[in-house]
C-alpha cells in the first residue's frame, strides 16, 4: 500500500510548478477519506517498531522523514550535540548509504534507519515526543488521483501532530508552491497548528539555513543554484 512516499520532487518539474486545488476540494478530501482503513491496515501488519529505547532517551528528539543518505541530519547532529537525531529513509540505495554513514560517523546522537516511515509514524512513536519533525522535498504526488498520498492529506498527518510535543515544530520544504500552500491550509484549518514561517524559503530561527551554505539537502542546493524558488512551512503544536 502506497502512502505519502517521501523522496524528492522530480527535477523535470522545476520549470513547471503545479497548481493549487481549491480549498473546497481540500475540505472535501479531509471530510471524505479512508484514514481509518489505512490505520487498520498497518495495525494488522504489526510492523516491528524502532528499537524500544530510541524514544526513551532524555534528550530532545529531532526526526527527519525521507532523509536520503543522511547528510543533512548527520551535520545537524554535530551542530546540536544535545539533541538526538533520527533519520529515516525507505529507498534501498539511499537507505543503505544512510545506515553506512550512521556506522562510519559513530555519533552518539545520530541514528540512521532504512525503513518505511509510515508504520513507524502510525504505531511506533509515542505521543508528545518530538521537538522537531522535518519533511524536506517530499514527492508532491501531482496528479489529482494521487492527492491522498500527500502528507497533509494522508492518514499519517494526524500522527505527525500527535507525536510532536506541545510547542514542537513541523518543518516542511518543497519546490512546489501548491504543496506548501495546501499544507498550510490543512495545518491551520484542521489541526490548529501555529504558523511560524510560510512562503519562499529564507534563513530564520527555525530552519537552520544559516548553517548550510547553498542549501540543506542535495535537492535544495540543486533547486536554489538553478534559480528555482523553494518554499517552506514551519508550524508548531499548541501548548
What are the strands, taking DSSP E only, across 145-227? Answer: 164-174, 194-200
Question: Which alpha helices (DSSP H) does 132-217 contain, by range?
Answer: 157-163, 177-191
Of the listed ranges 35-44, 96-105, 210-219, the least confidently predicted one is: 35-44
The answer on pLDDT for 185 being more than 70 is yes
Decide if 218 contacts 68 (C-beta within 8 A).
yes
- Domain extent, residue 166, equals 21-50+116-236
Q: Is residue 70 part of a domain?
A: no
The continuous run of DSSP H or E covering 86 comes out as strand 83-89
Model-level pTM? 0.86
Of the listed ranges 2-16, 79-93, 99-113, 223-237, the least confidently predicted one is: 2-16
- pLDDT per residue as tens digits for the range 109-152: 999 999 888 888 888 889 999 999 999 999 999 988 888 889 99
CATH code where residue 187 lies? 3.40.50.150
Q: Is residue 75 part of a domain?
A: no
Q: Is residue 205 part of a domain?
A: yes
Whole-number pLDDT of residue 47: 65
Query: For the chain, how many structural domains are there in total?
Result: 1
Q: Is residue 122 part of a domain?
A: yes
- The mean predicted confidence, pLDDT, of the chain is 87
The continuous run of DSSP H or E covering 61 comes out as strand 60-65
- pLDDT per residue as tens digits for the range 56-81: 888 999 999 999 999 999 999 999 99
Higher per-residue confidence, 48 vs 180: 180
Q: Is residue 141 part of a domain?
A: yes
Q: Is residue 14 part of a domain?
A: no
The continuous run of DSSP H or E covering 236 comes out as strand 231-236
Q: Is residue 150 part of a domain?
A: yes
Q: Is residue 228 part of a domain?
A: yes
Q: pLDDT band at 55, cuts 50/70/90? A: confident
Instruction: Give me 164's grid cell.
Output: 510532536
Write the CA distances from 119 to 4, 19, 38, 40, 131, integer angstroms: 12, 30, 10, 11, 20
Q: pLDDT band at 46, cuts 50/70/90? A: low
The answer on pLDDT for 19 being more than 70 is no
Buried b (16+ CB within 10 A) or exposed e, 88-107: bbbbeebbebbbebbeeeeb
Higher per-residue confidence, 51 vs 78: 78
Amino acid at each position: 500500500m502506497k502512502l505519502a512516499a517521501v523522496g524528492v520532487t522530480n527535477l523535470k518539474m522545476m520549470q513547471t510548478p503545479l497548481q493549487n486545488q481549491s480549498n473546497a476540494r481540500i475540505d472535501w478530501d479531509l471530510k471524505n477519506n479512508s484514514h481509518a482503513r489505512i490505520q487498520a491496515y498497518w495495525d494488522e501488519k504489526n510492523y516491528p517498531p524502532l528499537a524500544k529505547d530510541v524514544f526513551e532517551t532524555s534528550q530532545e528528539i529531532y526526526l527527519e522523514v525521507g532523509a536520503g543518505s543522511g547528510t543533512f541530519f548527520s551535520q545537524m547532529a554535530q551542530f546540536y550535540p544535545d539533541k538526538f537525531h533520527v533519520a529515516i529513509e525507505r529507498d534501498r540505495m539511499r537507505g543503505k548509504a544512510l545506515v553506512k554513514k550512521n556506522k562510519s560517523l559513530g555519533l552518539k546522537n545520530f541514528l540512521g534507519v532504512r525503513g518505511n516511515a509510515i508504520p513507524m509514524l502510525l504505531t511506533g512513536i509515542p505521543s508528545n515526543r518530538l521537538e522537531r519533525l522535518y519533511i524536506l522535498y517530499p514527492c508532491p504526488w501531482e496528479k489529482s488521483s494521487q492527492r491522498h498520498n500527500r502528507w497533509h492529506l494522508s492518514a499519517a498527518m494526524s500522527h505527525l501532530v500527535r507525536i510532536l510535543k506541545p510547542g514542537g515544530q513541523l518543518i516542511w520544504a518543497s519546490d512546489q508552491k501548491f504543496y506548501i500552500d495546501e499544507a498550510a491550509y490543512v495545518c491551520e484549518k484542521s489541526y490548529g497548528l501555529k504558523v511560524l514561517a510560510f512562503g519562499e524559503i529564507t534563513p530564520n530561527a527555525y530552519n537552520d539555513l544559516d548553517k548550510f551554505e547553498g542549501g540543506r539537502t542535495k535537492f535544495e542546493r540543486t533547486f536554489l543554484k538553478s534559480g528555482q524558488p523553494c518554499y517552506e512551512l514551519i508550524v508548531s503544536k499548541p501548548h
